[in-house]
Amino acid sequence: MFSVAEKQKIAEEIEKLLLSFNHPEMPKAKPNFKLHIDGAESWSWADIEPNWKYGENNPPGVNPWNEVAREKLNNLQTESQITVLDQLEPSLIIRTDEKEAMRFEPNGDIYIRGELVENNKEVLKRFKVLLNV
């Protein structure tokens, strides 16, 4: 669900928060915690542990999908303005810089830059969930 960098940021903030309580039963440094986060879908979740648990010989696990998805979203947001032009039937159209980037048809057809790439109603359904459409 989250990229490694996002998990590290969350872990850093949790550690700061825990230490800020200065609770007598807490260690003065390196609190140990495990945070499990369930996403909106059953396949979406994240486990977050302190950053100090990882090192050169013990790197954090990487989900390539999360890394690529986050990188692509960041690039789209910084390189061009994303606009969802049509959230109604018959199509869901996403444009970048006034050009059609993606189009999802109600029958499951998926177009990228005007070219049909797949027909998959499940992808359409999940994309609509992602956009809260």
Tens digits of per-residue pLDDT, 23-75? 999 999 999 999 999 888 787 888 999 999 988 888 888 777 677 666 666 66
Helices (H), the chain: 4-20, 64-79, 121-131
pLDDT for 63 equals 72
pTM of the model: 0.54
Spatial contact of 35 and 8, defined as CB atoms under 8 Å apart:
no
Spatial contact of 6 and 70, defined as CB atoms under 8 Å apart:
yes
Q: Which residue has the tokens 């977050």?
A: 48
